[in-house]
Amino acid sequence: MNTIKGPAIFLAQFAGSVPPFNNLDSVAKWAAGLGYKGVQIPSWDARLFDLKQAAGSKAYCAQILAMLAGHGLALTELSTHLQGQLVAVHPAYDLAFDGFAPETMRGQPRTRQSWAVEQLLMAAKASANLGLKAHATFSGALAWPYVYPWPQRPGGLIEMAFDELAARWLPILNAFDQAGVDLCFEIHPGEDLHDGVTFEMLLDRVKHHPRCNMLYDPSHFVLQQLDYLQFIDL
């Protein structure tokens, strides 16, 4: 891509129970009125989007795209930030992240993880049905509790965590490859993929999978004391 398009907006931060934020049509009209040209849709929010239906129905996807086009908007990506987080949760964070899952799965880490993987697999199909080429997500975190080197970490602990992270994500990456969609991990504090080094640790373990990509969001870099411009050059 030689030209940056936009501006676009991530609807998850605005979705709510009060109009115009409680359904996709009205929030799309609101976004267009502010001058936005694209929207990223949170796939977990049933007020805005039905992920299961999108994975199985091209007609539903066509309706979504037509409605957005009627407001002069394009769909940039689907997002599975919450579901991606639940693909890999350290037990220390079970309680904190339980709220990301349906109530029936809370307190059941394995069931919650299986649900999250299923959501990602549906997102791959839905993205393809929508004609999208990229998808936004989080990596989750198995090693994050050990980001501060005190107490000293046992040798190999971080490597073990990344081996497991890669094992969980590789089948999902393969599903996105079959769908012809790039899976883009947002570099973010609290994720195992929180800088260039950690992204490359996963990339190496999935053997440079062609669908394993980075979502560049510079908004977090200042707080992480990372140079967001130098990051691009590197």
Using pLDDT thresholds of 50, 70 and 90, give the confidence band for residue 22: very high
- Relative to beta strand 8-10, strand 212-215 is unpaired
Q: Which residues pair with 39 in a beta bridge?
A: 9, 75
Given a cut of 90, is residue 4 above it in pLDDT? Answer: no
Could you tell me if residue 31 is inside a domain?
yes
Could you tell me if residue 196 is inside a domain?
yes
Could you tell me if residue 119 is inside a domain?
yes
Q: Residues near 138 by Cβ (< 8 Å), separated by ≥ 6?
A: 80, 81, 82, 84, 85, 185, 186, 188, 191
Residue 153 has a pLDDT of 94
Residue 88 has a pLDDT of 99
Q: Which domain holds residue 26?
A: 8-233
Q: What's the number of domains the chain is made of?
A: 1
Residue from 53, 62, 52 nearest 130 by CA? 62
Using pLDDT thresholds of 50, 70 and 90, give the confidence band for residue 224: confident
Residue 2 has a pLDDT of 64
Could you tell me if residue 38 is inside a domain?
yes
Q: Which amino acid is at 140?
A: G
Given a cut of 70, is residue 1 above it in pLDDT? Answer: no
Summarised one tens digit per residue, pLDDT across range 129-184 is 999 999 999 999 999 999 999 999 999 999 999 999 999 999 999 999 999 999 99
Could you tell me if residue 1 is inside a domain?
no
- For the record, the structure tokens of 211 come out as 């669908």
Residue 151 main-chain phi, psi, to 5 deg: -65, 160
- Which helix (H) or strand (E) is 232 found in, with range? helix 228-233
- DSSP, collapsed to helix, strand or coil, labels residue 42 as strand
Average pLDDT, the chain: 96
Burial of 174 (0-12, 13-18, 19+ CB in 10 A): middle
Average of per-residue pLDDT across 49-75: 99
Using pLDDT thresholds of 50, 70 and 90, give the confidence band for residue 223: confident
25-29, 149-153, 164-168, 223-227: which has the minimum mean pLDDT?
Answer: 223-227
Using pLDDT thresholds of 50, 70 and 90, give the confidence band for residue 12: very high
The rounded distance, in Å, linking the Cα atoms of 219 and 177 is 28
Average of per-residue pLDDT across 29-54: 98
Residue 162 has a pLDDT of 99
Could you tell me if residue 212 is inside a domain?
yes
Average of per-residue pLDDT across 68-73: 99
Residue from 163, 57, 167 nearest 113 by CA? 167
The rounded distance, in Å, linking the Cα atoms of 12 and 99 is 15
Average of per-residue pLDDT across 122-134: 99
Could you tell me if residue 2 is inside a domain?
no
DSSP-H helix ranges across 16-153: 24-33, 51-56, 58-70, 81-87, 94-97, 109-129
Using pLDDT thresholds of 50, 70 and 90, give the confidence band for residue 16: very high
Given a cut of 80, is residue 94 above it in pLDDT? Answer: yes
Using pLDDT thresholds of 50, 70 and 90, give the confidence band for residue 194: very high
Could you tell me if residue 3 is inside a domain?
no
- For the record, the structure tokens of 54 come out as 């999108």
Residue 66 has a pLDDT of 99
Residue from 47, 181, 59, 185 nearest 121 by CA? 181
For position 45, which CATH number holds?
A: 3.20.20.150
- Which helix (H) or strand (E) is 9 found in, with range? strand 8-10
Residue from 74, 166, 169, 181 nearest 123 by CA? 181
Residue 220 has a pLDDT of 79
Residue 225 has a pLDDT of 83
